[in-house]
Amino acid sequence: MKNLMTISVIVLVYCTMATPSDIAFYVGQWNTDGWYDASQFDDVETIIAETGYLFKDIQQFDDSHLYGFGAWVDERTNDGEMDIIWLNGCTPSVLYPNPNLQPDGSRAEEWLDGGNMIINVGDWFAYCTYERGFRGVDNWDDGAANILDLPPWFIILEDNTRMTVTPTGKKYLPSLHNYVVSDRPVVLSAIEAPWEVAAIFASTDGTEDPTMGIWADPVVLHNTETGGYLAIINQGSYGNRIDDRGLTCAEFIGNWVSKIRGFGDQAQPFATRPNPKDGALYPDTRVTLSWRPGVLAASYDIYFGEHFDDVKDGVVRTFQGNQTATSFSVGFPGGPYPDGLILDTTYYWRIDDVEADGTTIHKGHVWSFTIVDAVTVEYQVSSTEDDGYAYNDEDQNLEFAYLRVGSSGFTQAPYYISGMVFRNVHIPQGAEIISAYLKIRSYDSHMTDRVYGKIEAEAVDDAMALGGSRHIGSLPRTVASVDWDLNEPWSAHTWYDSPDIAEVIQEVVDRDGWSTSNSLAILYGTRQPGGGNRYFSSYDFGNDGAPKLEVTYRL
């Protein structure tokens, strides 16, 4: 790492960083050993939706556009702005040629020397590349060490390391909650000048003092001479991934980077998080739109119509009025489209945030959804041997009146884990799953702390009854999973719906051996240590309280 910048230049960098800069996302092949999956695309979409207003130029580069990625980096390395590269845990050879073919002067090193930032999410920074689906020869720990000129052990292999979120983490990354788990934490004592620890969002003992803490992740390193930053955000695999990597990265950029390190105090002025999601297939002719407001909004101008350009341009007939509520219904009697929306039609909508002065308007993005003809089916566990829970690798209960999820002093992740088999699922092979929800009924009001839950399905063509050699904890699981944390009030004998698990069901019905009337097993387990647990009713409590699976699909 070359010491290129004097103190006077650092002042210039901090001044220029107040202007918008650029960001590029590497969305090539991730490490397939559990460090990431196709959710990287959703995460990038979240980051752009939440923080895109901060950047002049936003690019995504996959493995077929590495030459363009290199050119993008070269053009911005020394442009006087703090630009950002986001990595999915793999460092492509265009940034650092593997295996350690350019230990000095790589694009990654020059990028940091130019006062820029790298955000790494997933596998060990600069350890490996999976370009075009093939793992290259690894850089090992020398990759990160060469790029930063730090000891090779400044990142270590230490699986399942529980981190306590620090006050700084709770302030700037609120989605982290109380605990996270890292498999490749940063060793704080290994950070040497000119590098410093700029922020500790979670550490092994919850300390923010780098001289007292042992390991940390998420954590930010800063080169005091060049102005470069390396942000490590959850180097964890499989069940050790944080709840929502996209949201946490967006919080990091929008809260910490923008306010602490230089984009200025720029509040998010735009509406975000549309519901239905942008591009969604919606199985009803009536819909209530909702959104998350920008922080400056006092009211909202609403545009809705059947033509993209009309909504984008704010044509009069698309304007639905101004209101203070963050939801708006269409397709209902007495409102727009009172007879309902039309099947197989795409609708477009836009929310403009209006500030309190009534004249300052922040024009929103145009979102869309399509009305589709769909079928909704619901199934319920129907026998004793079709649900149960496991609390270690050997023992499981199939005849109790309740199932369990979460942690206690007697278990470790993935336990407690509950399995539920749904029989005769009439969904054709290859059907398009629009939405799916696991529904559970609380057994009692017992609650201790937050449950860090995850929903998967058994990765088989036709699920069998539980018991015997079929231990819930050892069943093969789908690649797709959806986190479902329980942190809301837990009232006895009350139904609770999971987040949408369409991608989990889709993976099963896409299997070559799946056919209509096969059975499907849902697994609701614990993805990380810590937190509490909940009880929910099983078939043996009374079949009216057994878990349910609701799926909406179309052919």
Do both 115 and 16 map to the same domain?
A: yes
At 392, the amino acid letter reads N
Among the three residues 233, 260, 287, which one is the final residue of a domain in this structure? 260
Cβ-contact 92, 98 below 8 angstroms: no
Specify the number of domains making up the chain.
3
- 3 pLDDT more than 80: no
Q: 426: which DSSP letter?
A: -
> CATH number, domain at 221?
3.40.50
Output the average pLDDT for the chain.
91
- The larger pLDDT score, comparing residue 214 to residue 1, is at 214
> CATH number, domain at 494?
2.60.120
- 323 pLDDT more than 80: yes
Do both 391 and 478 map to the same domain?
A: yes
- 10 pLDDT more than 60: no
Q: 255: which DSSP letter?
A: I
Do both 237 and 308 map to the same domain?
A: no
Q: Are strands 202-203 and 229-232 parallel, antiparallel or unpaired?
A: unpaired
Do both 290 and 392 map to the same domain?
A: no
Cβ-contact 270, 366 below 8 angstroms: no
- 116 pLDDT more than 70: yes
Per-residue pLDDT tens for 213-245?
Answer: 799 999 999 999 999 999 999 999 877 888 899
The whole-number pLDDT of residue 409 equals 77
pLDDT interval class at 20 (50, 70, 90) = low
Residue 215 lies in a domain: yes
CA quadruple 39, 41, 43, 44: dihedral, nearest 10: 160
Element (H, E) at 341: none
At 131, the amino acid letter reads E
Cβ-contact 230, 148 below 8 angstroms: yes
Per-residue pLDDT tens for 55-100?
Answer: 989 999 999 999 999 999 999 999 989 999 999 999 999 999 999 9
Instruction: Give the residue from 388, 541, 537 showing the smallest Cα distance to 467.
Output: 388
Q: Are strands 280-282 and 366-371 parallel, antiparallel or unpaired?
A: parallel
Residue 267 lies in a domain: no
Per-residue pLDDT tens for 387-405?
Answer: 999 998 888 999 999 999 9
Do both 245 and 362 map to the same domain?
A: no
Give the Å distances, CA to CA, from 182 to 307, 417, 491: 46, 21, 33
Residue 1 lies in a domain: no
Among the three residues 344, 373, 402, which one is the final residue of a domain in this structure? 373
The whole-number pLDDT of residue 262 equals 59
Do both 363 and 404 map to the same domain?
A: no
Do both 181 and 39 map to the same domain?
A: yes
How far apart CA 187 and CA 28 sit, in angstroms, is 28
- Which residue do the tokens 């923010």 mark? 208
Burial class (CB in 10 A: 0-12, 13-18, 19+), 324: exposed
At 496, the amino acid letter reads Y
Residue 205 lies in a domain: yes
Residue 268 lies in a domain: no
How does DSSP assign 353-413, residue by residue?
A: EE-TTSS-EE---EEEEEE---EEEEEE--SGGGEEEESSSS-EESSSSEEEEE--TT--T
- 543 pLDDT more than 80: no
The three-class DSSP label of residue 47 is helix
- In terms of average pLDDT, the best of 25-29, 256-260, 413-417, 442-446 is 25-29
How far apart CA 218 and CA 473 sit, in angstroms, is 29
Exposed e or buried b for every residue in 522-537, given b needs 16+ CB within 10 A?
Answer: bbbbbbbbbbbbbbbb
**What contacts 192, CB < 8 A, 6 or more positions away?**
150, 151
The whole-number pLDDT of residue 8 equals 26
- Backbone φ/ψ region at 287: left (φ over 0), alpha (ψ -120 to 50), beta: beta
Return the percentage of the chain with pLDDT > 70, whole number. 95
Q: 188: which DSSP letter?
A: G
The whole-number pLDDT of residue 261 equals 61
The whole-number pLDDT of residue 412 equals 73
Per-residue pLDDT tens for 362-392?
Answer: 999 999 999 998 989 999 999 999 999 999 8
Instruction: Give the residue from 466, 456, 450 showing the smallest Cα distance to 506.
Output: 456
Residue 2 lies in a domain: no
Among the three residues 206, 226, 260, which one is the final residue of a domain in this structure? 260
Per-residue pLDDT tens for 494-535?
Answer: 999 999 999 999 999 999 999 999 999 999 999 887 788 999
Per-residue pLDDT tens for 172-195?
Answer: 999 998 899 999 999 999 999 999
The whole-number pLDDT of residue 12 equals 27
pLDDT interval class at 126 (50, 70, 90) = very high
Q: Which two tokens stand for residue 421?
A: 């088999």
Burial class (CB in 10 A: 0-12, 13-18, 19+), 21: buried
Residue 89 lies in a domain: yes
pLDDT interval class at 7 (50, 70, 90) = very low
Do both 430 and 354 map to the same domain?
A: no
Do both 391 and 457 map to the same domain?
A: yes
Do both 163 and 294 map to the same domain?
A: no
Residue 265 lies in a domain: no
Do both 401 and 446 map to the same domain?
A: yes
> CATH number, domain at 343?
2.60.40.10
| Residue 227 domain boundaries | 7-260
- Which residue do the tokens 């944390």 mark? 485
Do both 368 and 383 map to the same domain?
A: no
Return the percentage of the chain with pLDDT > 90, whole number. 75
At 429, the amino acid letter reads Q
- 17 pLDDT more than 60: no
At 111, the amino acid letter reads W
Give the Å distances, CA to CA, from 470 to 173, 384, 388, 390, 394: 40, 14, 11, 11, 11
